[in-house]
C-alpha cells in the first residue's frame, strides 16, 4: 500500500452519463460512499464499508454527511480582472475601456502579475474550483505568472496570452507577428508541462485585425491539439460593431471561421445572440460554447439558450471579473435563473454536471478531471449541505439528495466548501 493512499468518506454524486441529455438518473448517489486516492489519482469509488474492507491500510478522512464532488471546473475567466471585479454600471464596451484595460495594463510588471495570479487561484480554491480556463493579458509575463502560480499549487490550468492589435490602448496592443511569436514561445514553454495546457487566445474580433486572426489561425493549425478560446456574440451592440469592422463576413462567427479559428477544440464564450447559420456551423465542427451567467446578467448581455446543449458541448464559467462572483455555486444558481427565464428548468443534477464534467468535457479534459472515476486526477470539493442557518433549515426538509443539494446551489458560497483537494492533496 502506497504511503499516500487515503480513503475519503462522505456522500457522493457519480456521473454515469449526462444529466442535461439523460435526466437525473445519469448521476448516481452514494449515501455512504468513499473515494480511494493513490498517487494523486482516484483509484476506486464506491460504498464506504466495501472500500474500507478492501483497503484496510488506507488512511481514512471522514467527511460525515458532507457531499464529495469533483472539483469545480471554471471554463472561462479573466484572472487579470481579479482586483476590479464588481465594478459598477457599464455595458461591455464601456466596461472594457473604463475598468478592464487600465487594470490589464499593469500586468507587464512580473511582480504584480504574480501577486494577482496567486490571489486569484487561492480565491478559486477557497470556492472549491480546482481548474480554470483563463485569459491572461498581452504580456507574456502574465502567462508565466498564472502557470507558475498553478504549478506551485498543483492545479490543472488552461490559459494563454490575450492578443489584441487594435481598438485597445497603446500599452495593450501587440501586432499580428508578435501575437504569433509570443503565443508560440509561451505554448512551447508551458503546454503539457505538468498540469499546464496552453490556449491560443484572441480576445475577440473587434480587438484583432484580420491579419492577427489569420496569424493565430495559422498557429492553431500548427498545434491543433491546443484549445483556442475567444468571445462570440455577447451583446447586440458588439455584434453591430463586428459587422462594421468586417463588412464582408456572413456573421460574427464567420470572422473567426475565415481566419482558421473555428474548430472542434474551440471555446466560444457567451454565444448568446447566435444566428441559425452560426449554431449549425458550431454544432457541425464540434465546438464548445461557454455559458457565463453571472456576467451576462451583471453586464446586461442577454440570456443564453441552454437548449443548445442538445447539439453541442456546453461549459459553465464565472467570467470573472465581468462575472460578479468567484463561486461556481453562485454561477450554478445564475444558470438556473437564466434557464427559468428561457423556459428551461435545469435539474440540480444538470447544474452539478455543468460545473464539473460538463466544463471538463468542454475543455477536452473529461478524461482527466470533472468526474469521480478511477484513473482520473483526484481534484475534489467537499460541500457542507447545511453551511448556514438558512440552508440548513431548508435542507432538513429534503426528501432526497437533490432537495438536499439544491439549497446549497441557490444560497451557497465559500462557507459551503468544507474542503478542497488538488491531485489528492487537501489544500
**15 pLDDT tier (thresholds 50, 70, 90):** very high
On whether both 34 and 169 belong to a single domain, the answer is no
Maximum distance among all alpha carbons in the chain? 68
Mean pLDDT of the chain: 97
Q: Is residue 354 part of a domain?
A: no
On whether both 159 and 128 belong to a single domain, the answer is yes
* 25 touches 3 (CB < 8 A): no
Q: Pairing relation of β-strands 227-232 and 196-202?
A: parallel
At 40, which CATH number? Answer: 2.30.40.10
Centroid of chain to Cα 102:
24
- Give the C-alpha separation, 402 to 310, whole Å: 22
Q: What is the pLDDT of residues 286-306, one digit of tens each?
A: 999 999 999 999 999 999 999
Residue 145 corresponds to which cell in the numbers above?
505568472
Question: Can you list the positions of beta strands (E) in 16-123?
Answer: 27-38, 41-47, 59-70, 72-78
Q: Is residue 100 part of a domain?
A: yes
On whether both 132 and 150 belong to a single domain, the answer is yes
On whether both 67 and 109 belong to a single domain, the answer is no
- Give the C-alpha separation, 316 to 131, whole Å: 12
* Whole-number pLDDT of residue 196: 98
At 116, which CATH number? Answer: 3.20.20.140
* DSSP element (H, E) containing 197: strand 196-202
On whether both 44 and 91 belong to a single domain, the answer is no
Q: What is the pLDDT of residues 367-390, one digit of tens each?
A: 999 999 999 999 999 999 999 999
Reference 352, options 10, 20, 8, 35; nearest CA is 20
Q: Is residue 189 part of a domain?
A: yes
Pick from 309, 326, 343: which residue ends a domain?
Answer: 326
Q: What is the mean pLDDT of residues 40-63?
A: 97
Q: Is residue 351 part of a domain?
A: no
DSSP-derived 3-state class of residue 281:
helix
For residue 155, pLDDT over 70 is answered with yes
Cis check for the bond before 321: say yes or no (omega within 30 of 0). Answer: yes
* Whole-number pLDDT of residue 392: 98
On whether both 14 and 103 belong to a single domain, the answer is no
Q: What is the pLDDT of residues 195-223, one digit of tens each?
A: 999 999 999 999 999 999 999 999 999 99
For residue 60, pLDDT over 70 is answered with yes
Residue 367 corresponds to which cell in the numbers above?
478524461
* 67 touches 27 (CB < 8 A): no
With a threshold of 0.95, does the pTM exceed it? yes
Domain span at 217? 72-326
For residue 1, pLDDT over 50 is answered with no
Residue 277 corresponds to which cell in the numbers above?
447559420
Count the neighbouring beta carbons within 10 Å of the beta carbon of residue 353.
33
* DSSP element (H, E) containing 297: helix 293-298
On whether both 67 and 88 belong to a single domain, the answer is no
Pick from 311, 326, 341: which residue ends a domain?
Answer: 326
**3 pLDDT tier (thresholds 50, 70, 90):** low
**87 pLDDT tier (thresholds 50, 70, 90):** confident
Q: What is the pLDDT of residues 107-127, one digit of tens each?
A: 999 999 999 999 999 999 999
- Give the C-alpha separation, 160 to 162, whole Å: 6
Pick from 326, 352, 382: which residue ends a domain?
Answer: 326
Residue 295 corresponds to which cell in the numbers above?
456576467
* 99 touches 84 (CB < 8 A): yes
DSSP-derived 3-state class of residue 159:
strand
Q: What is the DSSP string of 49-116?
A: HHHHHH-TTSEEEEEEEEEEEEPEEEEEEEGGGGGG-S--S--HHHHIIIIIHHHHGGGGSHHHHHHH
On whether both 79 and 43 belong to a single domain, the answer is no
For residue 261, pLDDT over 60 is answered with yes
Site of grid cell 464548445 = 288
On whether both 157 and 299 belong to a single domain, the answer is yes
On whether both 264 and 276 belong to a single domain, the answer is yes
Cross-strand bridge partners of residue 290: 269, 315
Phi-psi region at 423: left, alpha or beta (left = phi > 0; alpha = psi -120 to 50): left
- Give the C-alpha separation, 111 to 89, whole Å: 30
On whether both 39 and 99 belong to a single domain, the answer is no
- Give the C-alpha separation, 186 to 80, whole Å: 17
* 381 touches 72 (CB < 8 A): yes
Q: What is the DSSP string of 202-268?
A: E--GGGS-HHHHHHHHHHHHH-TTSEEEEEES--HHHHHHHHHH-TT-SSHHHHHHTTT--STTEEE
* 273 touches 308 (CB < 8 A): no
Residue 154 corresponds to which cell in the numbers above?
498543483
Q: Is residue 361 part of a domain?
A: no
Amino acid at each position: 500500500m502506497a504511503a499516500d493512499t487515503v480513503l475519503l468518506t462522505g456522500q457522493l454524486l457519480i456521473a454515469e452519463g449526462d444529466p442535461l441529455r439523460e435526466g437525473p438518473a445519469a448521476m448516481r448517489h452514494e449515501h455512504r460512499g468513499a473515494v480511494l486516492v493513490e498517487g494523486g489519482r482516484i483509484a476506486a469509488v464506491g460504498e464506504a464499508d466495501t472500500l474500507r474492507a478492501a483497503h484496510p491500510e488506507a488512511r481514512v478522512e471522514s467527511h460525515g454527511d458532507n457531499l464529495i464532488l469533483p472539483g469545480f471546473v471554471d471554463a472561462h475567466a479573466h484572472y487579470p480582472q481579479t482586483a476590479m471585479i464588481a465594478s459598477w454600471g457599464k455595458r461591455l464596451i464601456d466596461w472594457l475601456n473604463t475598468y478592464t484595460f487600465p487594470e490589464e495594463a499593469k500586468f507587464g510588471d512580473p511582480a504584480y502579475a504574480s501577486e494577482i495570479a496567486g490571489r486569484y487561484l487561492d480565491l478559486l480554491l477557497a470556492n472549491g474550483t480546482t481548474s480554470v480556463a483563463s485569459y491572461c493579458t498581452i504580456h507574456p509575463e502574465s502567462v508565466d505568472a498564472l502557470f507558475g502560480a498553478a504549478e506551485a499549487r498543483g492545479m490543472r490550468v488552461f490559459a494563454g496570452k490575450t492578443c489584441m492589435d487594435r481598438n485597445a490602448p497603446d500599452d495593450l496592443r501587440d501586432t499580428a507577428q508578435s501575437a504569433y511569436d509570443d503565443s508560440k514561445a509561451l505554448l512551447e514553454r508551458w503546454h503539457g508541462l505538468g498540469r499546464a495546457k496552453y490556449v491560443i487566445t484572441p480576445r475577440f474580433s473587434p480587438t484583432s485585425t484580420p491579419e492577427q486572426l489569420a496569424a493565430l489561425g495559422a498557429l492553431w493549425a500548427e498545434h491543433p491539439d491546443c484549445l483556442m478560446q475567444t468571445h462570440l456574440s455577447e451583446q447586440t451592440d458588439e455584434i453591430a460593431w463586428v459587422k462594421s469592422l468586417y463588412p464582408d463576413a456572413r456573421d460574427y462567427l464567420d470572422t473567426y471561421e475565415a481566419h482558421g479559428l473555428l474548430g472542434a477544440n474551440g471555446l466560444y464564450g457567451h454565444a448568446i445572440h447566435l444566428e441559425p447559420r452560426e449554431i449549425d456551423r458550431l454544432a457541425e465542427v464540434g465546438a464548445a460554447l461557454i455559458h457565463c451567467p453571472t456576467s451576462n446578467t451583471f453586464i446586461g448581455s442577454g440570456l443564453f439558450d441552454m437548449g443548445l446543449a442538445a447539439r453541442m458541448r456546453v461549459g459553465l464559467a464565472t467570467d470573472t471579473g465581468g462575472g460578479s462572483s468567484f463561486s461556481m455555486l453562485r454561477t450554478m444558481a445564475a444558470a438556473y435563473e437564466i434557464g427559468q427565464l428561457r423556459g428551461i428548468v435545469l435539474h440540480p443534477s444538470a447544474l452539478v454536471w455543468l460545473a464539473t464534467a460538463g466544463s471538463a468535457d468542454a475543455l477536452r479534459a473529461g478524461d482527466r478531471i470533472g468526474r469521480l472515476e478511477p484513473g482520473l486526477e483526484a481534484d475534489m470539493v467537499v460541500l457542507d449541505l447545511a453551511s448556514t442557518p438558512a440552508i440548513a433549515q431548508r435542507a432538513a426538509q429534503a426528501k432526497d439528495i437533490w432537495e438536499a443539494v439544491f439549497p446549497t446551489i441557490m444560497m451557497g458560497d465559500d462557507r459551503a466548501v468544507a474542503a478542497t483537494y488538488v491531485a489528492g492533496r487537501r489544500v
